């Protein structure tokens, strides 16, 4: 390499020094970890630098400032790009209760321990771990769809809270993506909806480098991305060289001038841009460069070849100062304006701050319906609709919708003023996601990360379509609400394609997720009360299509036991049961019927309603043993779903009545009989348990 073309530290502008610091920190971190992706940080460093230096309204001292611009790294494998920026900006850390700690979010030591245990710089950006990260990314396309949720939140917040002279919310959302994000179906779902909603505060930056893990994108991807996004209704512009700060500046300015559609900036780059061998793409994308390539890259950047994690004097100060100058001033001005706003709009001001801390308004549970005993009963999706509408009246920032199934999931808010969220009515509280379950769930994450309380709904069978985004809800510890109806073989004639079998077990296997399957209308009310109070856990409410009789609570236990996950609903007359019957959802009534018949036969049984395994496991061991005594081994569980996992509660010798096939297409009564969901079958199972117990003595 010619020395004439090699810059020196002294010859570089401060802009170039900062850009190359981002690059070399990424190179060194990946090399030391012997794991990671250096190529995209090398190529996109100028883009991030330009955006953060000139346009991003973000205060490093307050990374949760409500009206900050959002930057989402959808290409999460390029995490060192973000970590380097957070380090140079000296972003301050915030804890789980949203208290500012004053210490750095990312230190140089964290970068030195990239991808190592305990570092704030894990392999992919994690929202709950490192302040300044707006959302967890890694699964490609998720960040893009989540950014749509943030942009939707911006419009809803602006329409709800902005008043003449008080523009409280006008932030922008930027998301950086690559070819992989563009290929994933979720990005197409989200882009389509964003264009339809005309989300002008949203900008995606597409790193157009033609490389994925397997090689050149010619192998599997030949889309005309620009034309595709124009067809979606987006504004599209192009930057032909990722290193051209002037062109990048012009592109970002053009985006800010657009007020009627989202924007896509296509940035042409070479992966590992600036490295000595631009065509050796495999190492630059998914592997460390290797010691020799690292030295050559640093020489090319004019950095010390044999010094690791070198940070030139003045680079952090320059990178941080422009952010503080712009973002810090914006934050200070916002809070000054908020104090004035509070005097004129006290109720709205209170709502803004309660939202920021995920607190509920006073009287949030006022007038929630109490359901009278009813042998005919009501489907839990219908009782849920009644509770939801009351709750949403009391919690003005509870919003949501469905993936085109609101008439079936009963999740439409019907009270006066609820309205529909649309390009012409951003203050509506009913959202229409279209038949886009996956994008819906990611958008819900974006809404929740913006401190709105969102719910989304669909059939339980289609939870599979959104599982990756739901999993991220749990990883990020954000309280997204998922309402899943048509919860069992109770959908009857629709048959195996619509009868969820393994889905409850699948949801229960997700760490940090609360799953609740209530057994009657009053359990539905109590389930919503539990869910409303969650701050750091997503929840799935599992509801029936068919009517569930409303249990007589003057005879059986109060439904408030739902809060503990499981409770004794019906007890043996002497308090000393011989057998325990455990049910969830629609099967609770079957257990009660079996209990009454067993009583007539002088067999003492206890019925335990267990709507939530997760809530039950959170209870003290004393309570759990009180509900399910360890020495009472005669147990029967009943659930119209896979029996997988029920051995935890019935033991190896207990009986789990459930599904071992994918169901069948037939009227419900025939299905219940065929698969053993009858009172008589439960009674037989209970007697068999007692016989086994006697035989084993």
pLDDT at 462: 97
Q: Give the E-state strand segments of 218-289 in sequence order.
A: 235-239, 263-268
Low-confidence residues of the chain, pLDDT below 50?
A: 1-4, 273-284
CB 686 within 8 A of CB 594: yes
Q: DSSP characters for 12-52?
A: S-HHHHHHHHHHHHHHHHHHHHT-S--HHHHHHHHHHHHHH
The verdict on 682 and 627 lying in the same domain is yes
Q: Which tokens belong to 643?
A: 């029996």
**Range list of H helices, 329-485:** 329-344, 346-356, 380-394, 406-409, 437-449, 463-476
Query: Cα(273)–Cα(442) distance, rounded to whole angstroms?
Result: 31
pLDDT at 98: 75
The verdict on 575 and 534 lying in the same domain is no
Query: Cα(69)–Cα(150) distance, rounded to whole angstroms?
Result: 10
pLDDT at 630: 96
- Domain boundary (549, 573, 604) is at 549
- Phi/psi for 317 (5° steps) reads -60, -45
Annotation marks residue 647 as catalytic: no
The verdict on 255 and 222 lying in the same domain is yes
pLDDT at 293: 94
CATH code, 439: 3.40.50.970
- What's the pLDDT tens digit per position in 492-547? 899 999 999 999 999 999 999 999 999 999 999 999 999 999 999 999 999 999 99
Structural domain containing residue 416: 374-549
> Residue 576: how many CA atoms within 13 Å on its side-chain side?
2
Cα–Cα distances (Å) from 31 to 25, 175, 218, 289, 292, in that order, read 10, 26, 29, 7, 11
- Domain boundary (549, 576, 594) is at 549
In a domain? residue 9: no
Q: DSSP characters for 192-217?
A: HHHHHHT-TTEEEEEEE--EETTEEG
The verdict on 640 and 538 lying in the same domain is no
In a domain? residue 688: yes
The verdict on 504 and 406 lying in the same domain is yes
In a domain? residue 173: yes
Cα–Cα distances (Å) from 111 to 105, 114, 119, 290, in that order, read 11, 5, 8, 18
Query: Cα(471)–Cα(493) distance, rounded to whole angstroms?
Result: 31
In a domain? residue 52: yes
In this structure, the strands spanning 70-73 and 92-94 are unpaired
In a domain? residue 431: yes
Q: Which residues lie closer than 8 Å to 626 by C-beta, 6 or more apart?
A: none
Nearest alpha-carbon partner for 484 in 553, 531, 422, 418:
531
In a domain? residue 255: yes
The verdict on 465 and 568 lying in the same domain is no
The verdict on 64 and 163 lying in the same domain is yes
- Phi/psi for 605 (5° steps) reads -130, 160
Q: Which tokens belong to 185?
A: 């179906």
The verdict on 74 and 219 lying in the same domain is yes
- Domain boundary (520, 549, 578) is at 549
The verdict on 535 and 633 lying in the same domain is no
Query: Cα(614)–Cα(618) distance, rounded to whole angstroms?
Result: 6
Q: Which tokens belong to 265?
A: 């900036």
The verdict on 454 and 505 lying in the same domain is yes
In a domain? residue 339: no
pLDDT at 285: 55
- What's the pLDDT tens digit per position in 127-174? 989 999 999 999 999 999 999 999 999 999 999 999 999 999 999 999
pLDDT at 280: 39
In a domain? residue 8: no
CATH code, 638: 3.40.50.920
Domain count, the chain: 3
Supply angle C-alpha 351, 353, 355, rounded to 5: 70
The verdict on 380 and 477 lying in the same domain is yes
The verdict on 566 and 617 lying in the same domain is yes
In this structure, the strands spanning 430-432 and 235-239 are unpaired
Catalytic residue from among 126, 184, 293, 437: 437
């Amino acid at each position: 390499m010619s020395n004439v073309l090699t810059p020196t530290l002294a010859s570089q502008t401060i802009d170039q020094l900062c850009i190359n610091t981002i690059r070399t920190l990424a190179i060194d971190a990946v090399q030391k970890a012997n794991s990671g992706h250096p190529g995209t940080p090398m190529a996109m460093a100028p883009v991030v630098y330009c955006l953060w230096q000139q346009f991003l309204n973000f205060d490093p001292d307050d990374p949760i400032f409500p009206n900050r611009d959002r930057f989402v790294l959808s290409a999460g494998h390029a995490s060192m790009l973000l970590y380097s920026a957070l380090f140079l900006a000296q972003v301050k850390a915030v804890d789980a209760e949203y208290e500012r700690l004053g210490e750095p979010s990312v230190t140089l030591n964290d970068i030195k321990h990239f991808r190592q245990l305990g570092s704030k710089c894990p392999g992919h950006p994690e929202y709950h771990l490192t302040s300044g990260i707006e959302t967890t990314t890694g699964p490609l396309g998720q960040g893009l769809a989540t950014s749509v949720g943030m942009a939707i939140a911006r419009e809803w917040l602006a329409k709800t809270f902005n008043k003449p002279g008080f523009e409280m919310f006008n932030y922008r959302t930027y998301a950086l993506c690559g070819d992989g994000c563009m290929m994933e179906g979720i990005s197409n779902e989200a882009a389509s909806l964003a264009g339809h909603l005309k989300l002008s505060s949203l900008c995606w930056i597409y790193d157009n480098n033609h490389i994925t893990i397997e090689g050149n994108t010619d192998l599997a991807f030949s889309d005309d991305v620009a034309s595709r996004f124009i067809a979606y209704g987006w504004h599209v512009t192009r930057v032909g060289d990722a290193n051209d700060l002037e062109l990048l500046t012009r592109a970002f300015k053009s985006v800010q001038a657009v007020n009627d559609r989202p924007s896509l900036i296509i940035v042409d780059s070479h992966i590992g841009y600036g490295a000595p061998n631009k065509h050796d793409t495999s190492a630059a994308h998914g592997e460390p460069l290797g010691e020799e390539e690292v030295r050559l890259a640093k020489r090319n950047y004019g950095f010390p070849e044999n010094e690791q994690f070198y940070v030139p004097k003045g680079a952090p100060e320059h990178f941080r100062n422009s952010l503080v100058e712009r973002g810090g001033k914006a934050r200070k001005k916002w809070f000054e304006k908020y104090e004035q706003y509070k005097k004129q709009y006290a109720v709205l001001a209170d709502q803004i701050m309660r939202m920021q801390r995920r607190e509920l308004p006073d009287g949030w549970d006022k007038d929630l319906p109490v359901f009278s005993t009813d042998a005919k009963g009501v489907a839990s999706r219908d009782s849920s609709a009644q509770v939801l509408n009351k709750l949403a009246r009391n919690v003005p920032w509870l919003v949501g919708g469905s993936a085109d199934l609101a008439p079936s999931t009963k999740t439409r808010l019907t009270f006066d003023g609820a309205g529909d969220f649309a390009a012409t009515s951003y203050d509506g509280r009913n959202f229409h996601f279209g038949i886009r379950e996956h994008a819906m769930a990611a958008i819900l994450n974006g809404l929740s990360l913006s401190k709105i309380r969102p719910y989304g709904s669909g059939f339980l069978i289609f939870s599979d379509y959104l599982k990756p985004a739901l999993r991220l809800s749990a990883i990020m510890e954000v309280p997204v609400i998922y309402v899943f109806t048509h919860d069992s073989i109770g959908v009857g004639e629709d048959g195996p394609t619509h009868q969820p079998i393994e889905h409850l077990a699948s949801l229960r296997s997700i760490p940090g997720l609360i799953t609740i399957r209530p057994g009657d209308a009053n359990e539905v009310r109590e389930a919503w009360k539990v869910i409303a109070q969650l701050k750091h856990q997503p929840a799935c409410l599992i509801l029936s299509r068919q009517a569930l009789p409303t249990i007589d609570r003057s005879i059986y236990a109060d439904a408030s036991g739902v809060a503990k996950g499981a409770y004794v609903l019906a007890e043996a007359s002497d308090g000393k049961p011989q057998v325990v019957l455990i049910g969830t959802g629609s099967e609770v009534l079957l257990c009660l019927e079996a209990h009454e018949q067993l009583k007539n036969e002088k067999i003492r049984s206890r019925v335990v309603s267990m709507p939530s395994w997760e809530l039950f496991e959170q209870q003290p061991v004393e309570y759990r043993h009180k509900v399910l005594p360890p020495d009472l081994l005669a147990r029967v569980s009943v659930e119209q779903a896979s029996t997988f996992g029920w051995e935890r509660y019935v033991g190896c010798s207990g009986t789990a009545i459930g599904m071992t096939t994918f169901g069948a297409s037939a009227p419900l009564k025939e299905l219940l009989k065929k698969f053993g969901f009858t009172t008589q079958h439960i009674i037989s199972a209970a007697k068999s348990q007692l016989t086994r117990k006697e035989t084993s003595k």
